[in-house]
Chain A
Amino acid sequence: MVIINAITVKNILFGYNKKDVLRDITFDVLEGEFLSIIGPNGSGKSTLLKTLNHIFIPKSGQILIKDLPIENYKKKDLAKYMAMVPQDTNVDFEFRVEEVVAMGRHPFQKRFQQETKEDEDIIYQSMELTNTLEIRNRYINEISGGERQRVFIAKALAQKPSIILLDEPTSHLDINHQMDILNLLKRLNEENGITVVLVIHDINLASRYSDRILLLDSGEVIGLGNPEEVISIENIEKSYGMNVAIERNKYTDHIYLTPIEIKHRIKDKKYYNIHIISGGGTGQELINRLYGEGHSLSLGVLNVGDSDWQHGRSLRIEIVEEKPFSSISDKSYKKALDKVKESDIVIMTNVPIGSGNLLNLKLAERSIELGKKIIYYEEDHYENFDFTNGEATTILDSMKAKGIKVIKNIDDIIEELK
């Protein structure tokens, strides 16, 4: 099967007045795909969509619609190939739903031509596909937001387009109606072969429904590809300025993003490379706070499957790993030591120490010798943290003697780092 480009965008530049809103944008939309355009507010998403529809004309660069420059199309011919559902679907006048859908036939009609039998059939089918038949006689200004969105999609379908562009079709809708609209679009995409390009704010819905995602920031393409490629910690941090956790949602099996904290990169604030030695969940809260503060973290050695390991992975933090339920090998110890050498500060939690993870304690001891600043985070003091018949206690005591800082709560650690 030959994949054809429905839309090809080459190096387009667009700006209102002097400010450039889109800078050197290049991408393509494949025939039959479901493409979401995401990006923070003001990144140029809607502008890009309107440029694709020839509502805005780029200052330079080229847009090809099915291999022909967009300027070569007559306005009405373009409307037969591509339909647009605008962001604002408010209509103040009392048109009936059916009349609004019928307007989609405008490009096919002459000035005084009435609807033909064919037009009527297409209008009927468009309403049938979008479940708007039962509200066909109601007034457009009296139906709900979700219904209105479906009516405008029906109007777009009445244009018999190959491509539908939608500008934030799910904003202002509750979660039920958001999914309703996206399911409808997915159905039109899969069953009717319509190429769907939509601007959407909800990254999770975008990754769930889209074949590909285009991530924009400040008018530039940050990423283009399937959701797994584009929705990465780095990309989201770069474009949205957010610390996020990304994992696979166990119910939908799609990429799922949880916002953790807005990154406040403050000028005079110091950011450290911190290595955390923890395990068994003793590090979770600490990891969250330090991550939220914007420090660069590394973890380890941690056994694969450990709760700190899972937590670190969902935040895409670098982890020195050991096989599940195995003792720390010399190889992992050396890797962790390299991480310690790269770091400014080492923090050790009061994770229980047994023969399997004794090397972690030795790692902490070694880092004192390397001249690193080391903090021992001891939230609650357990008497029985030592499962090594006293060896761990001896090491810890000697470390304390060498002057490591013992801090009992996270706020004090944050304070200590300032």
Chain B
Amino acid sequence: MKILGRKSYAVVLVSMFITLILAIMITSNIGSASISTYDVFRIISSKIPYIGRTIDIGDITLGQHTIIWNVRLPRVILGALVGASLAISGASFQGLLKNPMADPFILGISSGAALGASIAIITKVTFSFFGFSFVSITAFIGALLAVFTVYNIGRIKNKVPVTTLLLAGVAVGQFLTAIMSFLMVIYNKDMTKIIYWTLGSLAGKGWTPITTLGVPLTITMIILTFFAKDLNVMLTGEESAKSLGINVERTKIYILILGTFLTSLSVSVSGIIGFVGLIIPHIVRLITGPDHRILLPASAFAGGTFMIIADTIARTAISPMEVPVGIITALFGGPFFIYLLRLKKKSI
């Protein structure tokens, strides 16, 4: 007799990880230019140090090589990173705020980032820093400023009651969105560009965001899982958690900072891709239960997988035109989630 079914946890995590890797390989293979799976495999393998030298890719054209290596693969990997980041921060925010409606954007990140990006788009400054465009940088700063404001409004002395934090998030978010809408009305020539940005896209980023953000994002996600147990206990009540020796207020701040960092970075490169951070944790919770020790890593894997599938649909559905990926995530995620909810209801 096993308590908590630890073994099944490991099985779930490993199979979700394998699914993610498979999804990366399969989706790199899908696109308007047809390249065989075997060739894709060879191109990727040839980049692996040592092993790569033994693989002959002489028969693959430079064009095919470029499409796979410089276009599709970085896009898929970025999708996996962004999806994982959004889903894991969504899961931890839902736990932290004890609110199933919470998502990574609930504390004003999306509105702050959108306003920041709008300002950059309107001012047309072309400036880049470590390969990041001015839009990315202002979006990141906007997101951080928004959360900082929300946190300080929601804070009462050195405590952060969940309700005031949520209300402050909604209020600040609405306020910033209003400013952005106002800017869009005034500078209506840039409106399309701003709207496209807010719908999110993973197109044409190349390797730069992955080489710079890949490591910090992955490390932040790993650190976030350190707090899984504390989050579990906090779900049974903050007083309970305190009497079990958890420093509740400090843990809240850590999770807020880590989640905000993950979300802001993701948003700065990909725009606002909604729904992933809200529904992936719910879908995973239906499978694994609410234990954050498995919920957090499983959400990351599932978020990554979901995002790259959604993005593949975004770039191939009405090819050669691209649909913003945020539309796809909501279009497919919504009904799927409703289906799962109904399934769950029937089983009770």
Chain A residues in contact with chain B, CB under 8 A? 50, 53, 55, 74-79, 82-84, 86, 88-96, 98-100, 102-104, 106-107, 109, 111-112, 114-115, 120, 123, 140, 152, 155, 159, 165
Among A74, A109, A114, point to the contact of B6 (Cβ < 8 A).
A114
Residues of A contacting B246 in the complex (Cβ-Cβ under 8 angstroms): 75, 106
**Least distance between B116 CB and chain A CB atoms (Å):** 34
**Least distance between B318 CB and chain A CB atoms (Å):** 40
A95 with B243: CB separation less than 8 A: no
A/B pair count, beta carbons within 8 Å: 87
B245 with A95: CB separation less than 8 A: no
Closest to A151 in B: B236
Which 10 A-B residue pairs are closest in the complex by CB-CB distance?
A84-B243, A76-B245, A75-B245, A79-B245, A93-B290, A86-B239, A107-B245, A106-B244, A55-B242, A103-B233
Interface band, chain B = 20 to 34
Residues of B contacting A55 in the complex (Cβ-Cβ under 8 angstroms): 239, 242-243
A92 with B98: CB separation less than 8 A: yes
Say whether, besides A95-B291, A114-B6, A84 and B245 are in contact (CB < 8 Å). Answer: no
**Least distance between B32 CB and chain A CB atoms (Å):** 44
Residues of A contacting B289 in the complex (Cβ-Cβ under 8 angstroms): 94-96, 99
B244 with A104: CB separation less than 8 A: yes
Residues of B contacting A78 in the complex (Cβ-Cβ under 8 angstroms): 245
Residues of B contacting A82 in the complex (Cβ-Cβ under 8 angstroms): 243
Cα(A14)–Cα(B226), bound, Å: 35
Residues of B contacting A100 in the complex (Cβ-Cβ under 8 angstroms): 236
A106 with B233: CB separation less than 8 A: yes
From 194 to 249 in chain B, residues with beta carbon under 8 angstroms from any chain A beta carbon are 226, 229, 232-233, 235-237, 239-240, 242-247
B235 with A84: CB separation less than 8 A: no
A123 with B3: CB separation less than 8 A: yes
Closest to A95 in B: B290
Q: Is B186 an interface residue (CB 8 A)?
A: no
Can you spell out 12 A-B residue pairs with CB atoms less than 8 angstroms apart?
A50-B239, A53-B242, A75-B246, A86-B240, A88-B239, A92-B235, A93-B98, A95-B236, A96-B289, A102-B4, A112-B226, A123-B3
Seed contacts A93-B95, A104-B244; 11 additional CB < 8 Å A-B pairs? A77-B245, A78-B245, A84-B243, A92-B100, A93-B98, A102-B3, A103-B232, A106-B245, A107-B244, A107-B245, A111-B226
Residues of B contacting A90 in the complex (Cβ-Cβ under 8 angstroms): 237
Closest to A82 in B: B243
Among A76, A84, A96, A159, point to the contact of B239 (Cβ < 8 A).
A84
Say whether, besides A98-B3, A99-B4, A111-B226, A89 and B245 are in contact (CB < 8 Å). Answer: no
Residues of B contacting A83 in the complex (Cβ-Cβ under 8 angstroms): 243
B235 with A95: CB separation less than 8 A: yes
Closest to A124 in B: B3
Closest to B240 in A: A86
Closest to A161 in B: B243
Residues of A contacting B240 in the complex (Cβ-Cβ under 8 angstroms): 84, 86, 152, 155
Residues of B contacting A120 in the complex (Cβ-Cβ under 8 angstroms): 3
**Least distance between A293 CB and chain B CB atoms (Å):** 43
Cα(A76)–Cα(B229), bound, Å: 14
Cα(A111)–Cα(B232), bound, Å: 12
A53 with B243: CB separation less than 8 A: yes
**Least distance between B122 CB and chain A CB atoms (Å):** 43
Closest to B234 in A: A103
Cα(A98)–Cα(B232), bound, Å: 13
Residues of A contacting B285 in the complex (Cβ-Cβ under 8 angstroms): 94
A91 with B233: CB separation less than 8 A: no
B290 with A94: CB separation less than 8 A: yes
Closest to B226 in A: A111
A86 with B237: CB separation less than 8 A: yes
B235 with A91: CB separation less than 8 A: yes
Among A75, A88, A92, A115, point to the contact of B247 (Cβ < 8 A).
A75
Closest to A55 in B: B242
**Least distance between A157 CB and chain B CB atoms (Å):** 13
Closest to A101 in B: B3
**Least distance between A76 CB and chain B CB atoms (Å):** 4
Residues of B contacting A102 in the complex (Cβ-Cβ under 8 angstroms): 3-4
Say whether, besides A99-B4, A123-B3, A159 and B229 are in contact (CB < 8 Å). Answer: no
Cα(A82)–Cα(B245), bound, Å: 10
B243 with A91: CB separation less than 8 A: no
Among B3, B100, B236, B239, point to the contact of A91 (Cβ < 8 A).
B236
Give 1 or 0 for each of B1-40: 1 = CB within 8 Å of chain A CB: 0011010000000000000000000000000000000000
Closest to B99 in A: A92
Residues of A contacting B242 in the complex (Cβ-Cβ under 8 angstroms): 53, 55, 75
Residues of A contacting B233 in the complex (Cβ-Cβ under 8 angstroms): 103, 106
Closest to A103 in B: B233
Cα(A100)–Cα(B289), bound, Å: 13
Residues of B contacting A96 in the complex (Cβ-Cβ under 8 angstroms): 289
Closest to B248 in A: A55
Cα(A166)–Cα(B240), bound, Å: 11
Cα(A359)–Cα(B270), bound, Å: 102
Cα(A77)–Cα(B226), bound, Å: 20
B291 with A99: CB separation less than 8 A: yes
Among A79, A109, A123, point to the contact of B243 (Cβ < 8 A).
A79
Say whether, besides A94-B289, A111-B226, A103 and B244 are in contact (CB < 8 Å). Answer: yes
Cα(A94)–Cα(B292), bound, Å: 12
Cα(A115)–Cα(B244), bound, Å: 16
Q: Which of A100, A106, A140 has the most CB of B within 10 A?
A: A106
**Least distance between B289 CB and chain A CB atoms (Å):** 6
Residues of A contacting B4 in the complex (Cβ-Cβ under 8 angstroms): 98-99, 102, 115
Residues of B contacting A53 in the complex (Cβ-Cβ under 8 angstroms): 242-243
**Least distance between B233 CB and chain A CB atoms (Å):** 5
Residues of B contacting A95 in the complex (Cβ-Cβ under 8 angstroms): 232, 235-236, 289-291
